[in-house]
Chains A and B, each alone.
Chain A
Amino acid sequence: MNRMSPLARAGLFLLAILLGLFFVLPMLWLITAPLNPRTTLSVTLPSQPSLDNFRAVFDNGFAIRALLVNNLIIGGGAMVLVAVVATLASYSLSRTRVPGSKLLVYVLILFSSVVSGTAAMVPIFLLAYNLGLINEHIGVILVMTGGLLPSAIFIMRDFVDSIPRSYEEAALVCGASPRRTFWDVAMPLVRPGVLVVAIWAFVNAWGAFLVPLVLLRSPEKMPASIAFYSFYTEAGTPNLPLVSAYAFLYTIPVLLLYLIINWRFGFRFFGGIKR
């Protein structure tokens, strides 16, 4: 590394700067636009930054309801369900020998990649329709949970596998009941893993667009991702002051939650943790 010529060094530095610019330039609008009282599509530093755009969002009951009620219901519901179901399943996969569990893992990997995206929404919509889950938050929560569960189980299983089983063995040898061993010995140990999976599920359900778009009907039940599209003028152009401030408010919780994960656990890499 030290043998590199100054010219090559400068070239690599320039390349890194260019890559950084490619990633940062499209984001700038998200920061400058909300503070600009006359928001346009250009990135301009506001000469007089104001919070008027945010005030407009808070005056819009529909938008606030979408963000603070519907998004929290959907995100929170998916978070709790994914965390509970994935914890139980991964603990079982790691610590017990159930016949057929290898097959289950294989089916999980295979079908979670096969039954995904828009293609999966065709049968899932009709399933929800026949179960009476259309236009219900619980329908969105269940479908989101079904989609997130396979990845959540893999993340959690790796996590549980990495914890030495001697703690639980010792507890059982000392005469603790299996129930006590699970609650008082195993659970505290896997709690960080549960937290990561819970946050990951929340963030995914919070940002979901396609599932609520397909499954929900009435505007007052829509989450923020769809509420954006009500901020259009009659001419069909977006109301940029409202859109930009709303985008800001909608993104902040996601960033904060990732910061928490990063700060508590470091941004560790989990295979397949995308959707």
Chain B
Amino acid sequence: MEQKPAIFSARVGALFLLPALAFVALFLLFPFVWVIVLSFTNQTLTGATAANPEFVGLANYERLFDFDRWMRAGEFGSSLLITVQFVLGSALIGQAGLGLLIAWLFYRRRGWLRTVVTTLVVLAWIIPEVVVAFAWFAFLDRDAGTFNNILDAFGLGRPDWLFNYPLLSIMVFNTWRGTAFSMLLFQSALETIPPSYIETAEVAGASGWQKFRHILLPLLIGHIITDLILITLWTFNVFTPYLLTGGGPRNQTQLVSIYTYETAFQFFRFGQGAAIAVVIMFINLTLAMIYLAILRRQRAAT
């Protein structure tokens, strides 16, 4: 480990760090500790338990993990299952798959098509979430939506996507929304691969698939793992689908983020909401630790 000389004294350095430290302590560390405490109480926003919440032990957790009912629609287990499907479908398959496909499709190519497709993917990512929700609401509308107009032209009927296939709809929506991150990551990773590798394989007569499978994929695998963990983490916590379906119909798109929101901010059961938040944060913590361990191993390898 090289040690570069300091430009300023440690005292100035500490002073410069102070505001950031204050924010981190107040908005990251303190909430993390406090939410654990809250999860053992019956804190509400109004009524007697607002000012003087009582300690209720594990009651909030017992309610969450009440295995007699937890797979029913609108319960925690069912919400977790929906979220796992959502992460698998929209992040791991959708975003990472499509991102890799687009990055590979335009690998070592320039031209208008690359510029147009890349720009569109990035646009879908940067437009404010409320706006994309309205755009998709229009796109998927049963009677007037563009998607059904296209299907109808091919004689494929007019399904009511948000009503009959709500989970599939938000998966496709989230793939569309978030592919940019994976695409940009894979594009910049591909650019670091020396062209001579590919040229050698071409001289040896490798097919397109062989080049991908035996040269690019092994070189990309580290980036792919990084990407998968990060998008899993984000997709697990994403709230945007609420703007499209509101968690419905009949709780079929009730992701854990929406379940938390409804418990804490619509029914104002903060103790219960805190218990859910603790479970989610520990799942996040596990994912983040895996990410950091892989990051450290990659640094050690280079």
B265 touches A95 (CB 8 A): no
Q: Are B28's CB and A25's CB within 8 A?
A: no
A155 at the interface (CB under 8 A from B): no
A101–B18 Cα distance when bound, in Å, is 11
Which residues does chain B contribute within 8 Å of A129, judged by CB atoms? 45
Q: Which of A88, A108, A125, A228 contacts B264 (CB 8 A)?
A: A125
- Nearest neighbor of A165 in chain B, beta-carbon distance: B7
Q: In B250-291, which residues have CB < 8 Å from any A CB? A: 257-258, 260-261, 264-265, 270, 273-274, 276-277, 280-281, 284-285, 287-289, 291
Contact of A29 with B by CB under 8 A: yes
Stretch in A46-54, A56-64, A144-152 with 4+ CB within 8 Å of B: A144-152
From known contacts A96-B6, A116-B237, A121-B265, infer whether A101 and B13 are also in contact, taking CB-CB under 8 Å: yes
B121 touches A269 (CB 8 A): no
**A96-B12 in contact (CB<8A):** yes
Residue of A nearest to B271 (CB): A122
B161 interfacial contact with A, CB 8 Å: no
A216 an interface residue at 8 Å Cβ cutoff? no
In the complex, which of the residues B15, B202, B243, B280 contacts A209, with contact meaning CB atoms closer than 8 Å? B243
Interface range, A side: 35 or more
A29 to chain B: closest residue by CB? B138
Given A26-B136, A247-B134, residue A107 in contact with residue B24 (CB < 8 A): yes
The residues in B between 1 and 57 inclusive whose CB is less than 8 angstroms from any CB of A are 3-4, 6-10, 12-17, 19-21, 23-24, 26-32, 34-35, 38, 43, 45
| Bound CA–CA A16/B101 (angstroms) | 10
How distant is the Cα of A13 from the Cα of B116 in the complex, in angstroms?
13
> When the two chains form their complex, are residues A42 and B146 in contact, meaning their CB atoms are under 8 A apart?
yes
Q: Which residues of A contact B (CB under 8 A)?
A: 1, 3-4, 8, 12-13, 15-17, 19-20, 22-30, 33, 40-43, 84-86, 88-89, 91-93, 95-99, 101, 104, 106-127, 129, 142-143, 145-147, 149-150, 153, 165, 168-169, 172, 178, 181-182, 203, 206-207, 209-210, 214, 224-225, 228, 238, 243-244, 247, 250-251, 254-255, 258, 267, 269, 271-272, 274-275
Question: Which B residues lie at the A interface, using CB under 8 A?
Answer: 3-4, 6-10, 12-17, 19-21, 23-24, 26-32, 34-35, 38, 43, 45, 98, 101-102, 105-106, 108, 113, 116-117, 120-124, 126-132, 134-139, 141, 143-147, 149-150, 176, 181, 184-185, 187-188, 202, 208, 230, 233-234, 237-239, 243, 257-258, 260-261, 264-265, 270, 273-274, 276-277, 280-281, 284-285, 287-289, 291-292
User: Distance (Å) between the CB of B106 and the closest chain A CB?
Assistant: 8
> Which single residue of chain B is at the shortest CB-CB distance from A131?
B26
Chain A residues positioned under 8 Å from B120 (CB to CB): 20, 23-24, 27
The answer to whether A97 and B185 touch across the interface, beta carbons within 8 angstroms, is: no
A13 to B117, CA, bound (A): 12
- By a CB distance below 8 angstroms, the chain A residues around B134 are 30, 228, 238, 243-244, 247
Task: Return 8 A-B CB contacts under 8 Å, by A number.
Answer: A19-B105, A33-B138, A41-B145, A93-B17, A95-B7, A119-B260, A127-B31, A142-B27
Interface centre among B19, B34, B129, B243 (most CB of A within 10 A): B19
Measured in the bound complex, the distance between the Cα atoms of B126 and A99 in whole Å is 38
Contacting pair A43 B146 (CB below 8 A): yes
Given contacts A113-B233, A114-B288, A149-B20, contact A251 B258 (CB under 8 A): no
Alpha-carbon gap, A26 to B147, bound state (A)? 8
Contact (A111, B6) CB under 8 Å given A122-B273, A123-B38, A124-B31: no
The CA-CA distance from A225 to B277 in the complex, in Å, is 25
Residue contact A29 to B135, C-beta cutoff 8 Å:
yes
Q: Is the CB of A25 within 8 A of B139?
A: yes
Query: Which residue in B24, B117, B243 is a CB contact (below 8 Å) of A19?
Result: B117
Q: A118-B277, A119-B281, A124-B27 are in contact. List 4 more A-B contacts (CB 8 A).
A: A26-B136, A95-B13, A104-B24, A181-B7
